Amino acid sequence: MPDPADTDPAAPRFSGSGSSRSFGRYLLLGTIARGGMGEIHLALAGSIAHAQKLCVVKTIRAEFTGEDNLVARFLDEGRVLCALQHPNIGQVMEVAIEQGVPFLAMEYVGGTDLAELIDAGRGSRRYPPLDVVLSCLAAVLDGMAYAHRAQGLDGTPFHLVHRDLSPENMRASWDGDVKVLDFGTALAAGRSAQTVHGAIFGKPGYMSPEQARREPLDPRTDLYAIGVVAWELLTLRDWMTLDIVDHLRALADGTHRPAPPSTLRPDVPPSLDRWVACMTAYDPSQRFADATTARRALLDLAQAEGLRIDREVISEGLRAMLPGAQEAESERNRRWIAEARSQRGTTADPPRLRQQVNTEPLAPRDPRVLPGTPYRLGAQIGAGGMGEVYAAEHMDLGRPVALKVLSPALSSDPSLVQRFRLEARAIAALSHPNLVHVYDLGTTDDGRLFFAMERLRGESLRARLERAKSSEQGRLPVAECVRIGTAVARALAAAHAVGVVHRDIKPENIFLTEDGVVKVLDFGVAKTSNAEILGGTDANVTRAGELFGSPAYMAPEQARGREVDARTDLYSLGAVLFECATGSQLFQDASMVELLARHMAQEPDSPRRRAPSANIPPGLDAIILRCLAKDPSDRFDSAALLADALGRPLDAAPPRADGVPDTVTMSATALLRPPPPPARSRSPWPLVAVVSLASVVTLAAAVGLTRRGNPPPPPVAAPIAAPPAPAPVVAPPAPAPVVAPPAPAPAPVVAPPAPVVAPPAPSPAVVAAPAPAAVVDAGAAPSRRSAHSALSLAQQSFAAGRYQETIAHANDAVAQGGRGALDARVLIGKARNAMGQRAEAVRALRMVLERDPGHRGARQALSAMGESVAP
pLDDT digits (tens, 9 = 90+) for 41-52: 899 886 444 445
Q: Are residues 744 and 605 in the same domain?
A: no
Identify whether residues 144 and 215 lie together within a single domain: yes
The DSSP line for 779-845 is T--GGGS-HHHHHHHHHHHHHTT-HHHHHHHHHHHHHH-SHHHHHHHHHHHHHHHHTT-HHHHHHHH
Check whether residue 732 and residue 852 sit in a common domain.
no
Output the domain CATH number for residue 838: 1.25.40.10
How many residues in the chain? 871
Domain check: are 743 and 843 in the same one? no
Full domain range(s) for residue 837: 785-864
**Candidates 267, 504, 515, 565; catalytic one:** 504
Quick count: other Cβ atoms within 10 Å of Cβ 79?
22
Q: Under a CB-based contact definition with an 8 Å cutoff, are residues 415 and 479 in contact?
A: no
Assess contact for 737 and 773: CB atoms under 8 A: no
Task: Render pLDDT for 743-796 as a digit per residue (tens, 0 to 9).
Answer: 433 444 444 444 333 333 333 333 333 333 332 233 333 333 456 677 877 887
- What lies within 8 Å, CB to CB, of 356 at 6+ separation is 96, 97, 374, 396
Domain check: are 510 and 641 in the same one?
yes
User: What stretches of 213-260 show up as alpha helix (H) in DSSP?
Assistant: 219-235, 244-253
Q: Among residues 600, 619, 646, which one ends one of the domains?
A: 646
β pairing state of 438-443 and 527-528: unpaired
Of the three residues 593, 619, 646, the one that is the final residue of a domain is 646
A 10 A CB-CB count for 635 gives 25
157 shares a domain with 306 = yes
CA distance linking residue 725 with residue 730, whole number of Å? 12
DSSP assignment letter at 322: S
458-460 β-sheet, strand order: 458-460, 510-513, 518-520
Under 8 Å between Cβ of 147 and 189:
no
- Separation CA 166–CA 180 (nearest Å): 9
| Rama region for 731: left / alpha / beta (φ>0; ψ in -120 to 50; rest) | left
Residues 757 and 801 occupy one common structural domain: no
Q: Are 212 and 253 part of one and the same domain?
A: yes
**Residue 189 lies inside a defined structural domain of this protein:** yes
Question: Which residue ranges of the chain lie beneath pLDDT 50?
Answer: 1-17, 36, 47-51, 185-186, 188-201, 346-364, 526, 528-547, 655-785
789 and 766 in one domain? no
What Å distances lie between residue 786 and 94, 446, 810, CA to CA? 49, 61, 12
Tell whether 366 is covered by a domain.
Answer: no
Could you give the CA distance from residue 128 to residue 111 in angstroms, rounded to a whole number?
16
| 497 is a domain residue | yes
The whole-angstrom separation of Cα 555 and Cα 547 is 12
Q: CB of 821 within 8 A of CB of 658?
A: yes
* Chain centroid, CA 266 distance in Å: 32
Asked whether residue 281 is domain-assigned, the answer is yes
In angstroms, the CA 816 to CA 823 distance is: 12
**Residue 349 near residue 22 (C-beta atoms within 8 A):** yes
CB atoms under 10 Å from CB of 188, counted, come to 21
Q: How many Cβ atoms sit within 10 Å of the Cβ of residue 350?
A: 8
Q: Which of 633, 641, 656, 660 is nearest to 843 (CA)?
A: 633
DSSP structure class, residue 543: P
Q: Are residues 191 and 161 in the same domain?
A: yes
Q: Does some domain include residue 228?
A: yes
Q: Give the pLDDT confidence score for residue 426 in this predicted structure.
A: 62
403 CB contacts (<8 Å, ≥6 apart)? Answer: 370, 375, 377, 389, 390, 391, 392, 450, 451, 452, 453
pLDDT at residue 84, rounded to an integer: 80
Q: Total domain count for the chain?
A: 3
Task: Note whether 825 and 769 are same-domain residues.
Answer: no
Report the alpha-carbon angle 805-809-814, nearest 5: 140
Residue 354 lies in a domain: no
The whole-number pLDDT of residue 256 equals 92
- Tell me 187's DSSP state: B
Q: What is the CATH number of the domain that holds 615?
A: 1.10.510.10
Kindly tell me the sign of the dihedral angle through the C-alpha atoms of 778, 782, 783, 787: positive
- Nearest CA to 172 out of 114, 105, 232 is that of 114
Contact 680, 515 (CB under 8 A): yes
504 is catalytic: yes
Burial tier of 155 (Cβ tally within 10 Å: 0-12, 13-18, 19+): exposed
- Give the C-alpha separation, 93 to 81, whole Å: 9
Comparing CA positions, the residue from 732, 743, 745, 734 lying closest to residue 773 is: 732
CA dihedral (412, 415, 417, 420) positive or negative: negative
- Is 449 part of any domain? no
Amino acid (1-letter code) at residue 560: R
In the sheet that holds 178-180, the strands lie side by side as: 111-113, 170-173, 178-180
Tell me, yes or no, whether 739 and 793 share the same domain: no
- Last residue within a domain, chosen from 739, 757, 775: 775
DSSP state of 396: T
Sheet holding 92-98, edge to edge: 21-23, 26-34, 38-45, 54-60, 101-107, 92-98, 355-356
CB 133 within 8 A of CB 313: no
217 domain residue, yes or no:
yes
User: What does the DSSP assignment read for 733-765?
Assistant: PPSS-SSSPPP-SPPPPBPPPPP-SSPPPP-GG
